[in-house]
Amino acid sequence: MPVEPGRMLPPYRIKVVEPIAFLSAEQRRMAIASAGYNPFNLRADQITIDLLSDSGTGATSDAQEAVAALGDESYAGARSWFRFRDQVGSLTGYPFILPVHQGRAGERVLFSNLLKPGQICVSNTHFDTTHANVELVGARPVDLPCAEAADLDSSEPFKGNIDLDALEHLLDGPDGGKVGLVLMTITNNGLGAQPVSMANLKATSELCRRHRIPFFLDAARFAENAWLVHEREPAYRDMAPRQIATTAFGYADGCVVSLKKDGLSAVGGFIGLRDEQLHAACEANLIATEGFSTYGGLAGHDLERLAQGLREVVDPWYLQARAASTARMAQLINDAGVDTVQPAGIHALYLNAGRLLPHLSPAQFPGHALGCQLYLDGGIRCAELGSLYLGAMDENHQLVTPAPFELVRLAIPRRVYTDTHLEYVAAILADIAKDPERVSGYRIVSAPPILRHFKVRLEPLT
């Protein structure tokens, strides 16, 4: 059988490197204790492998750094803006583009002009800042994931889909008139990095148009979703990832995008719109809060890096290599006796901490406990997506309603770690899996009222 380099090798070689930290076990123990047992509070120079987020953590290319030198820093009408606008417009097909410094800024601007207090925003799954920004304008976020998403072990290819029957039932029911927006997240970050099928996007679009409800994409990982569609949806097997992405954007009335993911940059985002009146309203908000509408809080060199990054991210060789690397890591972790949400996505793997640590109840936060143990044993930083993040608490920070699953997200930065780094993560997990009962639970000491997981402080139970 011939060897296929594209399935084994990333389509780049490393030109610049950055040192990583190797703390002793005692130094890690002291560091996590000082951080209130919250990985978000750790210093970057206390981390060996950082899998906390794939947002803004990727490596830029030589081409991106070269074009950054062309950055035009004019306050209005910069050349860099027009290059960025033309690239985004060509990719998405939207006539109106507004730059923002990151995705949550785009959410704030868009939601404040699309949603009113008392309305409902429906999604396949709102992620944390999206959920918060919906609530901050007085609206109510409602998640309608497909039924297949509830089976973490199944190999269903599109577990990121929205439940079309549930959506239609909501729109036809007594609360249908309250729905102000349907927002589809591609890929579905909150449910295991699972993709959304083109068939589901098309059907959702048709349903929203029939009910005259705006349909938008939260498209931070549009290229990775396109690759998984290319691989898993037979009708798109012969279509290039960029074509698939453009087709997906075409089903929606607009989008909000963090380009800190598939923009291959440390900063940036945009709002894409079809409606001129909505564009005018969002533009006024943008100018008042983010910056003039030809820079939106971004420097000219950022706009240049982003325009180039949007060309590179839809390269099928890049996407194939990234997907293959994540799949190899998943196999190593599964072979070590740790279950992950199946099938493997691209930007992250989700560990089933509840299954690995059955001796810990949801109130003892098994996902968070596993994340802390990964740091204590190997200097690995990651994020919990379980009852600490998603559970309902009372005023004393006691768990009232647990999350449906106790997960840990290993988010993989783009073009940063080699397979050897990821093999190390799997080896640390394998060691934990040999004696999982040594992992202790945690309790909350203090927490903010919103987006609890970012600034919560905890302590171990033993």
Q: What is the pLDDT along the chain (462 residues), one digit of tens a residue?
A: 566 666 678 999 999 999 999 999 999 999 999 999 999 999 999 999 999 999 999 999 999 999 999 999 999 999 999 999 999 999 999 999 999 999 999 999 999 999 999 999 999 999 888 999 999 999 999 999 999 999 999 999 999 999 999 999 999 999 999 999 999 999 999 889 999 999 999 999 999 999 999 999 999 999 999 999 999 999 999 999 999 999 999 999 999 999 999 999 999 999 999 999 999 999 999 999 999 999 999 999 999 999 999 999 999 999 999 999 999 999 999 999 999 999 999 999 999 999 999 999 999 999 999 999 999 999 999 999 999 988 888 888 899 999 999 999 999 999 999 999 999 999 999 999 999 999 999 999 998 887 778 889 999 997
How many whole angstroms separate alpha carbon 404 and alpha carbon 204? 25
Sequence-distant (6+) residues with CB within 8 A of 82 are: none
Give the catalytic positions in this structure: 75, 127-128, 218, 220, 261, 453
- Answer yes or no: are the C-beta atoms of 442 and 395 closer than 8 Å: no
Which residues are paired to 99 by β-bridges?
270
Residue 280 host element (H or E)? helix 276-289
> Collapsing DSSP states into helix, strand and coil, what is residue 126?
coil
Q: What's the pLDDT score for residue 6?
A: 61
Backbone φ, ψ for residue 121 (5° rounding)? -110, 120
> Collapsing DSSP states into helix, strand and coil, what is residue 150?
helix
- Prediction pTM value: 0.96
CA distance to 96, 320, 361, per residue, from 418 (Å): 39, 15, 35
Q: Measure CA of the first residue to CA of the last residue in the chain; give whole Å.
A: 54
Which residues are paired to 398 by β-bridges?
none
CA distance to 107, 118, 197, 329, per residue, from 176 (Å): 22, 12, 24, 43
Nearest to 200 by CA among 177, 240, 171, 167: 167
Nearest to 310 by CA among 252, 355, 246: 246
Helices vs strands, H then E, count in the chain: 18, 16
Backbone φ, ψ for residue 231 (5° rounding)? -80, -30
How many whole angstroms separate alpha carbon 293 and alpha carbon 354? 46
> Collapsing DSSP states into helix, strand and coil, what is residue 325?
helix
